[in-house]
Structure 1
Amino acid sequence: MTTASAPGKIILFGEHAVVSGAIALGGAIDLRASVSVQDRPGSIMVTSDDLMLRGFSLDLNSGLLSSPDAAYATRYVSAVLQEFDAHDVEVRIKSSLPASAGLGSSAAIVVAAVMAISRHQESSLSLKEIAALSFRLEKQVQDGLASPTDTALATYGGYLKISSQILPLDLPPLELVVGYTGVPHNTRSEVEKVQKLKKRYPDLFDHIFQAIGSISLRAAPLIADQNGSELGELMNINHGLLEAIGVSSRELCELVYACRGAGGALGAKITGAGGGGCMIAIPGPAGKETLMTAIRQAGGWPFAAKMGQEGVRLEREE
């Protein structure tokens, strides 16, 4: 059996503005997806019992999928299997990342699958090759929507500064609390909605995106200095700008303001495309548990996450 795992990601600052050329800042987190591959003569099977949704199995020979909710995961693994012309194998997926939540679950699955399946076939790819292939396959499955950011973070880990280029940043870990609304988001529809509004008010959006890019530039030194107070202020400002362009939702705002109020957060904001998915908060003096309680009481699902974590890695090979 060969097993590899890859991290999810959080976009700390710069959502939507990065589409128009502003800088964004993202990091790999300590929530991971793993893919295990073992020989299974006579069939190709993809299974999971731990995907933040109901367990499923897929027999690629018959095309029988036991849970339609899991179709997104099987599409990525199937693309990797086809790329490597893999037969007579069983692939098992495990993940601590919710799907369609803006945390890079699909990128983590495809990157882990590329490493696990390639190594099982005794093909050793470099990290650069893994990142490039994973991005191509994710983009293929998503009909051209995918960004190289998610697969780069899943491959290399750490932090990335994202603009016209993707550059690594050497920064210390940052502890956050994530609140999941339970509402899946649709990245394509949110991006299209923002770009449509931008065409109506180009001057206003230019100023908003410039401000968001400026926040991203200010953030890295604050992470380096572990200045959570000022970083939290920037998060609050960035959230307000994201609300202004229409990507918030009632569920997201309830979690954000619960964190800032009863949760005692230093700052809180949407992460990702918005419209659903997740928000993030920096714990204040009251600590993570107080924040997590506030999220639960506001109807969300909380979990702790640490940014700046390790990228894809081989867990088992035998």
Structure 2
Amino acid sequence: MIAKASAPAKTILFGEHSVVYGEPAIAGAINKRAFITIKDSEDDRTIFRAPDIGFEAELLTREKKYILLKGKPGIIRYILEVLYTLHDHTPIDITLNSQVPIGSGLGSSAAVTVAMLAALYRYHNIRFNKKSLAHDAHMIEQAVQGVASPLDTLVSTYGGLVYLSRNKKVEHFNVNFNVPFVVGYTTKHGNTGKMVKDVKNLKTRNPKIINPVITSMGNLTNYAKQAILKRDFNKIGELMNINHGFLDVIGVNTLELSRMVYNAREAGAIGSKTTGAGGGGSIIALCPGKVEEVAKAIARDDNVLKIRFTRKGVSSRVYK
């Protein structure tokens, strides 16, 4: 039996980090995906391969451990957590192919987790729906990271552009938002768990300063929601720029991220900001009519992806 699944990466437009504390956020699935294939083992071992990053390991699923065979660990903790939680520990072969740079702030762990869960459910013939899948994927991320927002896994499961309210109600935008964005990402990978903990510690040490910033980030997200519904791209860009300043205040920006942000603005982006956890990773730039100029400016020092939002969420099937 062969089970296959894929799930999209995401980018957060507004609300990273503040969403962890109950504030709203806006994020969208993008046209870059993670693909998982699970098949019966041929040698009574569970092997995980990620050829895109040159990684291979034998997995000891009962102990939640691995034996490194090749490459450097990246996304392996999420794979092990899924298998430890849901697998019956029979030997299987797992292959990850991904269009999403690991640690780039584009929700690679969520895309991999959602795809892995969907493929494993298919492999074991377990019935599931998107609601239960998004919930289970969030539980996996939370177990690995300690603290995790449900936003990444929700977007990877459902696809589309979504708004997560303060009371955790999910709204899907029906507005046409197929506008051009450029993502810049560094070779310095961010660590989501570490950055979330760092912000938590900063907040604990300076509650009277950081708490109002977190609240303001939530208010900004609500203004952005209205701007998106009106397709007011100039306002969206302005709010992206303000949001980047807030992310600076809570300490998640780096020299590399800010370099990309300002290179993008100087090349014509009407808005640019860090996206995701920070500490490395990615920025996103809104640049209608200036995609090539912005991409070229970022590519002088860093890496570039041209993206569009997509309505397609998780997809899975079984081959017998």
Q: Same fold (TM over 0.5)?
A: yes
Q: 1:20 to 1:240 in 2, by over 3 A?
A: same
2:21: which partner in 1? 20
TM score, norm. by length of structure 1? 0.89
Report sequence identity in percent.
36
Q: 1:114 to 1:193 in 2, by over 3 A?
A: closer
User: Which string of whole-angstrom CA distances, capped at 9 and with x for unpartnered residues, describes residues 69-127 of structure 1?
Assistant: 2x332332233333121523211101111222221111111111111121122222111
Q: Could you tell me how far 1:200 is from its partner in structure 2?
A: 4.8
Instruction: Check whether the contact 2:240–2:271 (CA below 8 A) recurs between aligned residues.
Output: yes
**Cα distance in 1, alignment partners of residues 68 and 121 from structure 2:** 24
Distance 1:197 1:137 in 2: 25
User: Which letter does structure 2 place at the counterpart of 1:155?
Assistant: T
Aligned match of 1:161: 163
Q: Secondary structure at the match of 2:88?
A: coil
Query: What is the RMSD computed on CA atoms of the aligned residues?
Result: 2.2
Q: Counterparts of 1:170-185 in structure 2 under 5 Å?
A: 170-171=173-174, 172-174=176-178, 175-185=180-190
- Counterpart mapping for 1:291-302 below 5 A: 291-297=294-300, 299-302=301-304
2:286 maps to 1:282: yes
Query: CA distance change for structure 1 residues 57 and 233 in 2, over 3 Å: closer, same or farther?
Result: same
Deviations along 1:56-80, one digit per CA (max 9) or x if unpaired, are: 22223694322352x3323322333
Q: Distance in 1 between matches of 2:152 and 2:211?
A: 25
1:80 and 2:85 correspond: no
Normalised by the length of structure 2, the TM-score is 0.88
How many residues were matched structurally? 310
Residue range with higher mean Cα deviation, 265-274 or 158-167: 158-167
Which position in structure 1 is the counterpart of 2:124?
A: 121
Equivalent runs, 1:17-166 vs 2, <5 Å = 17-41=18-42, 42-50=44-52, 53=53, 55-60=54-59, 63-69=66-72, 71-82=73-84, 83-142=86-145, 144-162=146-164, 163-166=166-169
**Runs of at least 5 residues in structure 2 that lack an aligned partner in the other structure:** none
For 2:273 and 2:66, the matched residues in 1 are separated by 41
1:230-241 maps to which residues of 2 (within 5 A)? Answer: 230-241=235-246
| Cα pair 2:33 2:100 within 8 Å, conserved | yes
Tell me, in whole angstroms, the C-alpha distance in 2 between the residues paired with 1:60 and 1:147: 27
Comparing 95-104 with 219-228, which one deviates more in the overlay?
219-228
Answer yes or no: is the 8 Å Cα contact 1:160–1:166 preserved in 2: no
**Structure 1's 22 and 80: CA in aligned 2 closer, same or farther, altered over 3 A?**
closer
Segments of structure 1 that go 5 or more residues without pairing to the other structure are: none
